[in-house]
Amino acid sequence: AEVLDPNATGSPLSGKGGWNWATTVVSAEIADESTFDRLKKELAEFPAEFLLFLPSDISLELEVEGAEPRLITKRFEDGDAVVSDGANEATWKVFETRVRVENPEARDHMPLAWAVPVGGREQAGRFWAFFPTETQSRTSGILNAPWKLNSDRTNLIRGPWNEAIMQAAAELIGASLSS
């Protein structure tokens, strides 16, 4: 990846380029074909729900050479978050708080969010550590927090840190259900 100069000749950020409207553009040349194919697949499968945890209306365009651009959007309607990936649209309620975990390594307060689909659950809930993990939840939706994860960042691990966040998550869910 490289920093693009909007004033450089041929820059996609210039007034004549296709990305002059963008605030952030990530561009990388990938020479290894298998790496390119893996990244292309990951971008095609990038979860639209990622946008749920951003505080404003947003659109994210993912463009990979040789594939159709993919536009993911989130907007607010009547306090609910509506996420679309062009093929599917889903409405979510997002409940957020900040929690403190008693631990010398802990930041003052950490974000904790529960996003639940309006209209019920179509699949098992998931734990996210700002990106999806493979750990499922019995609770509908997505619990997003700075969980402690295993070395490949795919699953939550047991321990007092995650137990404390889990307790805070239970309190958030309980308070959300009664509101």
The pTM for the full model equals 0.80
Alpha carbons 164 and 159: distance in angstroms, whole number: 9
Return the pLDDT at 71.
93
Amino acid symbol at 88? N
CA angle, corner 50, sides to 153 and 123, nearest 5?
Answer: 80
pLDDT tens track for 118-145: 987 677 899 999 999 999 999 999 999 9
Return the pLDDT at 179.
64
**Residue tagged 């990622």 (tokens):** 50
Q: Which of 171, 116, 117, 169 is nearest to 145 (CA)?
A: 169
Q: Are 162 and 127 in contact (CB under 8 A)?
A: no
Section 47-64 average pLDDT: 92
The yes-or-no verdict on residue 172 having pLDDT over 90 is yes
How sure is the predictor about 2, in pLDDT bands with cuts at 50, 70 and 90? low
Quick one: tokens of 177?
């259900």
Section 56-76 average pLDDT: 90
In the chain, % of residues over pLDDT 70: 86
